[in-house]
Amino acid sequence: MHSLSVTELAAGLRARKFSSLDLTLHFLGRIERLGPQLNAFVTVTADRALADARAADEVLARGEGGPLTGVPIAHKDIFCTDGVLTTCSSRMLSNFVAPYDATVVERWKAAGTVMLGKTNMDEFAMGSSNETSYFGPVRNPWDPSRVPGGSSGGSAAAVAACLAAAATGTDTGGSIRQPAALTNLTGLKPTYGRVSRYGMIAFASSLDQAGVLTRSAEDAALLLGAMAGFDPRDSTSVDRPVPDYVAELAQPLAGVRIGIIREFFGAGLDPAVGKLVRDAIGALERAGARVREVSLPALPLSVPTYYVVAPAECSSNLSRFDGVRFGHRCENPRDLLDLYKRSRGEGFGDEVKRRIMTGTYVLSAGYYDAYYLKAQKVRQLIAADFARAFGEVDVVLGPTAPTAAFELGAKTSDPITMYLNDIYTIGANLAGLPAISIPCGFVTESGRDLPVGLQLVGPHFAEARLLGISHQYQRLTDWHRRLPAEYA
């Protein structure tokens, strides 16, 4: 049951082949047996899951409910869940019980999903390997000596290992797409404003966006439809109708114009990864897509731009953690300043402190123009590059990450080396564009098969197009169906 897609699970539930309770007990059993070795979950909400499942079964017994009624899922621990520990994988929030549900959580709940638990992540979503978590690193189900990517590493590992049918993630610079690529999943980051950020703990508010990690584009379409849409509680939410993403999957590949991003195939890309992406381009072309090269000359500046903009917003957002109203407070503060400094110094890990300090520096008097304002201007150039490309093609394509999954500890000593993992994903965040990573093959390293992903980026609100191309590609290939042997 655990390897079935969400779409297949929905059909099985409706045909009463199995109940949601059977399904939920099965997944909870797998989480108990296989979860600890991956460290994919921070909190398992077994009682809540069983209650959700029983409620779903009653709905299904009445012949009611939707396609997600009774489907067991997991939420990244960045989403507030009413009455459930919500840690953001930080010591700062290790005692925080959210007093309300995030809109994403509320909508998936209303759609009838069963919440199995909260997944591990890089602390406050700052990382590309899931190694900055206060609760320890997550391991990649394809090779336990390697990282699952980050920051949505727990969600990726959980879905890849079939410990949940699907999971939520968030993507500020690649945190859905890069882990999806490293664990053989489909990972969708929607357009900025498409999905509500209400109740999603903020990192960089002009970049953060919620999305999904699934085992197919079809599942992603189903689950995106259940989370997208206007929310008055998020001031940047866009009031625009949500298309029927599942219906749009049938769009044919023939005639779709795909631009290959020249700048994404240069130095820094593992040639074995590049070859698999080129093979996939060949397959799309044979299926009728019209492929041409496009140049986005400002894109190589996306990483330095991001590492000014994101830390600046982070330093401002994370000033709310002051040891006064919620979160970690130090022992015996001498005075208010000591309370702030020690509560924050103890509550945040090294990478979070580093980003807060980078942001504080680039926003400080005398440096603001040289760093922050300059980065905002380069951000405009990057967005303009994409806009120009979308005048010629429907979507652009490239690799999701420069390499397959790397070993734990391989990139923790130098922050820049770690930051460069997101070199191909950050541009979409800076420009607010929707982007998806889908499996496109495997490389072999040290005798292990490691998954590789390709990325499609589209114009604002082109999620249906991205999902359609991905679905058509997944009808031609079976990379996305492969599961890590130990977890199949």
Of 73 and 202, which CB lies nearer to other proteins in the complex structure? 202
Which amino acid does the sequence have at 252?
Answer: P
Rounded least distance, CB 343 to other proteins, Å: 9
Of 99 and 282, which CB lies nearer to other proteins in the complex structure? 99
Instruction: Tell me how far apart the alpha carbons of residues 7 and 30 are, in angstroms, rounded to a whole number.
Output: 20
Rounded least distance, CB 346 to other proteins, Å: 8
Establish whether 353 is a catalytic residue: no
Instruction: Tell me how far apart the alpha carbons of residues 352 and 311 are, in angstroms, rounded to a whole number.
Output: 9
Is the bond leading into 3 cis (omega within 30 degrees of zero)? no
């997550």: which residue's tokens?
138
Of 25 and 383, which CB lies nearer to other proteins in the complex structure? 383
Establish whether 374 is a catalytic residue: no
Q: Are 152 and 176 a contacting pair, CB within 8 Å?
A: yes
Active-site residue, from 175, 302, 343, 437 = 175
Length of the chain: 488
Rounded least distance, CB 120 to other proteins, Å: 21
Q: Kindly report the number of other CB atoms within 10 A of residue 358's CB atom.
A: 19
Of 89 and 186, which CB lies nearer to other proteins in the complex structure? 89
Rounded least distance, CB 418 to other proteins, Å: 11
Question: What six digits make up the tokens of 396?
Answer: 């652009």
Which amino acid does the sequence have at 33?
Answer: R
Q: Kindly report the number of other CB atoms within 10 A of residue 391's CB atom.
A: 7
β-strand partners of 442: 451
Question: What six digits make up the tokens of 430?
Answer: 């800076």
Instruction: Tell me how far apart the alpha carbons of residues 339 and 322 are, in angstroms, rounded to a whole number.
Output: 8
Rounded least distance, CB 235 to other proteins, Å: 6
Rounded least distance, CB 429 to other proteins, Å: 8
Residues near 99 by beta carbon (within 8 Å), at least 6 away in sequence = 80, 82
Q: Are 39 and 136 a contacting pair, CB within 8 Å?
A: yes
Active-site residue, from 128, 133, 151, 216 = 151
β-strand partners of 43: 118
Rounded least distance, CB 196 to other proteins, Å: 13
Of 32 and 350, which CB lies nearer to other proteins in the complex structure? 350
Of 90 and 155, which CB lies nearer to other proteins in the complex structure? 90
Question: What six digits make up the tokens of 379?
Answer: 């951000």
Of 7 and 237, which CB lies nearer to other proteins in the complex structure? 237
Establish whether 151 is a catalytic residue: yes
Rounded least distance, CB 92 to other proteins, Å: 12
Active-site residue, from 19, 76, 109, 189 = 76
- In DSSP notation, 34-57 reads HHHHHT-EEEE-HHHHHHHHHHHH
């000591």: which residue's tokens?
338
Which amino acid does the sequence have at 482?
Answer: R
Is the bond leading into 470 cis (omega within 30 degrees of zero)? no
Q: Are 433 and 213 a contacting pair, CB within 8 Å?
A: no
Within the chain, how many helices (H) and strands (E) appear? 17, 11
- Residue 236: C-alpha distances to residues 166, 178, 195, 202 (Å): 26, 25, 10, 13
Of 37 and 364, which CB lies nearer to other proteins in the complex structure? 364
Q: Known catalytic residues?
A: 76, 151, 175
